Structure 1
Amino acid sequence: MDKIQDVSVEPMTKSNFVHPYRMHYKQNGRKKIWDLVMQHESVAIIIYNTDIKKMIFVRQFRPAVYFSNVRQVDPDCKSVDTTKFPGDSGFTLELCAGIHDKDQSLLHDAKDEVLEECGYDVPLEKFEKVITYRSGVGVTGDLATLFYVEVTNDMKLASGGGLEDEGEMIDVVEMSIPEVRALLQKDQVPSPGGFLFGIMWFLQNKAPKE
């Protein structure tokens, strides 16, 4: 999964997932322009396995993270030399998550993602909504809803890894609470802000006392 090859970048003209716009407006009488991107609402799930006493995360390749790391070294890069820029620089540690693009509730989205990505079949009533927030405010303004769920080993029906027919390649990562606390002490982590908020919320509100 970590072997990344044949990387190139081109301008985007059409997408089923994101839609770029240029917004013209006035603020206090002053004309302004802002470039923005509209994308789907999403869900993310904080998962804790009470049998093994570990949090459940996902690890996957994120092209935007990879290309950002490439651009830090080569700002004008168009074709990427993957021997110089190995794929591991584009992998992130995240909460189980997914976009809201089906005709169903966010709660059903959360249930589906936990099964598809992590292999746990969890009853809907086990999910607890934590908060809905804006996952991006500079370029995107999309909504994200965070859920919490506790799972047990007997809910594990599959290995997870995402939907193969959608090209998903996801590793399931189990981390103990001490390992999670150690992660938060690092100077830099390959994770989004929602992930960090989610685990800090868990440690404050749900983690068993050590």
Structure 2
Amino acid sequence: MQSEHAKIRTLDSQVLSDDWYLLKKYTFEQQRRDGEWQRQSREVYDRGNGATILLYNPTQQSVVLTRQFRYPVFVNGHDGWLLEAAAGLLDNLDAEARIKAEAEEETGYRIERVERVFEAFMSPGSVTEKLHFFIARYDASQRVSDGGGMKEEGEDIDVVEMPFADALAAIGDGRIVDAKTIMLLQHLALSGRLNA
């Protein structure tokens, strides 16, 4: 049986932008099920891989989210302010180590133990990024700073602690529209760690 890789032939790649991250146009051929080779082209945005984490407190039945401005969402008709799970790019680091640092930078909680729950490609039609998803318990004793992100990276993040039931309701009423956050909240609901 022919491998799936043998059904793709990359013919050309062209850099369209290398400003913030890397945007390339690829021309390739794909062998269709009927055996015919079909030429296609796609623009592919490579921003590296990332990680995200949802902090939860089973005693308080609460979660910690962030609220920050996202310009791409703003230009698509939203006010731009999203409630999200803490997240960041790996920058060639180990996903677990990176998400612990990101959680502390953004939320102010120093988390020692995290649980990897799954990996997912968030926009596979155009973006190469694979996101590593984590959850972790938190409590007040782990709060080491106000969080808020790093000014030099343009971050100005609000830390939002909210009841888990309210976070789930926020998916339905449109206050939470970020895919990674929805996925983590639903995972937590399905896991039974918190009762909504």
Deviation, structure 1 residue 13? 4.1
Partner-residue secondary structure (3-state), 2:54? strand
Deviation, structure 1 residue 34? 1.0
Deviation, structure 1 residue 30? 1.5
* Separation (CA, whole Å) in 2 of partners of 1:31 and 1:13: 23
Partner-residue secondary structure (3-state), 2:79? helix
* Separation (CA, whole Å) in 2 of partners of 1:63 and 1:96: 17
Contact 1:49 1:153 in 2 (8 A): no
* Separation (CA, whole Å) in 2 of partners of 1:206 and 1:109: 27
Contact 1:50 1:152 in 2 (8 A): no
Given candidates 73, 97, 105, the residue that maps to 1:116 is 105
TM-score, scaled relative to structure 2: 0.83
Given candidates 15, 19, 24, the residue that maps to 2:19 is 15
* Separation (CA, whole Å) in 2 of partners of 1:113 and 1:53: 23
Deviation, structure 1 residue 195? 1.3
* Separation (CA, whole Å) in 2 of partners of 1:199 and 1:63: 24
Structure 2 equivalent of residue 57 of structure 1: 65
Given candidates 176, 182, 185, the residue that maps to 1:196 is 182
* Separation (CA, whole Å) in 1 of partners of 2:176 and 2:191: 24
Structure 1 equivalent of residue 79 of structure 2: 89
Structure 2 equivalent of residue 176 of structure 1: 163
Alignment deviations for residues 41-99 of structure 1 (CA, whole Å, 9 cap, x no partner): 00000111345331111111111111122xxxxxxxxxxxxxxxxxx701111110000
Structure 2 equivalent of residue 74 of structure 1: none
- CA change 1:200–1:175 in 2 (3 A) is same
**Aligned-pair Cα RMSD in Å:** 1.8
Q: Spell out structure 1 runs of 4+ moving beyond 6 A.
A: none
Alignment deviations for residues 152-186 of structure 1 (CA, whole Å, 9 cap, x no partner): 10000111100122221001111102212321322
* Separation (CA, whole Å) in 2 of partners of 1:26 and 1:185: 41
* 2:19 partner letter: S
Could you list the runs of 5+ residues in structure 2 that have no partner in the other structure? 1-15, 32-36
Structure 2 equivalent of residue 137 of structure 1: 124
Given candidates 19, 37, 51, the residue that maps to 2:45 is 37
* Separation (CA, whole Å) in 1 of partners of 2:99 and 2:120: 16
Report how many residues are paired: 176
Could you list the runs of 5+ residues in structure 1 that have no partner in the other structure? 1-11, 70-87
Is 1:161–2:148 an aligned residue pair? Answer: yes
Q: Which has the higher strand share?
A: 2
Higher relative CO (Cα under 8 Å, sequence separation at least 6) belongs to: 1
TM-score, scaled relative to structure 1: 0.77
Partner-residue secondary structure (3-state), 1:194? helix
